[in-house]
Structure 1
Amino acid sequence: MKVHELLDLPESVDALDRVSAPLQQRLDGLLDHGPTAGFLRGSWLGHPIHPMAVTVPVGAWTAAVVLETVMRDHHAARRLIGLGLAGAPFAVVTGWADWVERDEADRRAGLIHALGNTAAATAMLVSFRLRRRAPSVRAQAWSWTGLAAAAASGALGGHIAFGSSRRATASE
């Protein structure tokens, strides 16, 4: 199975519509296509904000894992994990603002993307909390787990954003 075929799988899970449809209506009603929605979607910039917003948590978490693994700098790793956790809410809000505008298949995949990001942030939060006392192998394992979840979820997010499956199918 090719990677794009694996990433296509959530798009065909009809059961996700039971969550997706009411959530889409609720969020669309909250955003109401006003100035807040335009800001969160980046209409003022002419580019979606979400892809830029995710660089803070993903970049900080990647740097944390690298610094801790290579340099054994546990204090910097904890600070960077905290920075990523602080930046995550803005990435989440901009992601949901974009998600509302997507088609049914993308919203299905977007739910899985959101679950992956939730798993990543939860693992990083566990790692952050374990580090209050002292660095540990458990804390480091949680940060590796969080980074792996963020990477997998990020691959799905990129697949959604760039329509990889549709382009690959059209070019084959």
Structure 2
Amino acid sequence: MSDRSSAAKHPVSALLTGPYGHPFHPILVTIPIGAWVASFVFDIGSQAADAAYLVQASTWLIVIGIVGALAAATVGLLDFFAIPTGTPAFRTGVIHLILNVTIVVAYVVNALWRRGADADQVAVGPIVLSGVSLAALMVSGYLGGKLAFRYGVRVAEEDDQAEGFEPRR
């Protein structure tokens, strides 16, 4: 294993990004993903049920997702700094980062678009924006998976992983 790939496996700051082998970023990304998927479901539900509570809940879920995304981005950015520049992993990380910033901006626009709307249904425009944002989120998630599972960013080294496959004594 090269020193360059080994550097991307270890945290810049274990206190901020999680200890070696237990990064915080994958845990934190579940907050925006879950909130934004649930928001989209509530948007669709508001079309079927004409329910103002679904509109309000959807908007709150978008805001919760934004806050969660900012927390995930903070630790993800620190993990990104550990990836050596000029590598395929770094280029993948740059695309992942740009996509995620774009998605968060789209959800901020979406939340502002809904602000002050007193309706029993979410308008079609914000629903379309949510759908496009979720599609982009899936692409970004794929790239995040590639960083971890293909390039091993913040994944324990194979020698450390081997203990999980030792037979019990």
**TM-score, with length taken from structure 1:** 0.69
Deviations 1:86-145 (A, max 9, x none): 111110111111112224221111000011111111111111111113232111111112
Look up the equivalent residue of 1:122 and give its one-letter code: V
Is 1:114 the counterpart of 2:89? The answer is no
Number of the residue aligned with 2:65: 84
Show structure 1 runs of 4+ deviating over 6 A: none
Which structure features the higher share of helix residues?
A: 1
Give the equivalent residue in structure 1 for 2:150.
Answer: 163
Between the two structures, name the one with larger relative contact order (CA 8 Å, sep ≥ 6).
Answer: 2
- Superposed displacement of residue 156, structure 1: 0.6
The structural deviation recorded for 1:40 is 2.4
Aligned to 1:128: 111
- Classify 1:107/1:164 alpha carbon distance in 2 versus 1 (closer, same or farther; 3 Å): closer
Q: Does 2:51 correspond to 1:70?
A: no
1:95 matched to 2:76? The reply is yes
Distance 1:136 1:71 in 2: 9
User: How far, CA to CA, are the matches of 1:96 and 1:128 in structure 2?
Assistant: 24
Which residue is equivalent to 1:141? 128
Matching residue of 1:29: none
C-alpha contact (below 8 Å) 1:85/1:121 kept by paired residues: yes
Aligned length, in residue pairs: 130
Cα distance in 2, alignment partners of residues 143 and 159 from structure 1: 24
Picking from 16, 25, 30, the partner of 1:40 is: 16
The answer to whether the 8 Å contact 2:89/2:151 transfers is: no
Letter in 2 for 1:162: F
Please state how far the C-alpha of 1:41 moved relative to its aligned partner.
2.2
Deviations 1:39-77 (A, max 9, x none): 222017x40100011111111001100121135421111
TM-score when scaled to structure 2? 0.70
**Cα contact 1:54–1:88 (8 A) shared by 2:** yes
The residue correspondences of 1:15-26 to structure 2 (distance < 5 A) are none
| Matching residue's letter, 2:136 | A
The whole-number CA distance in structure 2 between the counterparts of 1:68 and 1:58 is 15
**Structure 2 segments unaligned to the other structure (5+ residues):** 1-11, 48-53, 153-169
Structure 1 Cα separation of the partners of residues 89 and 41 of structure 2: 32
Structure 1 unaligned regions, length at least 5: 1-32, 166-172
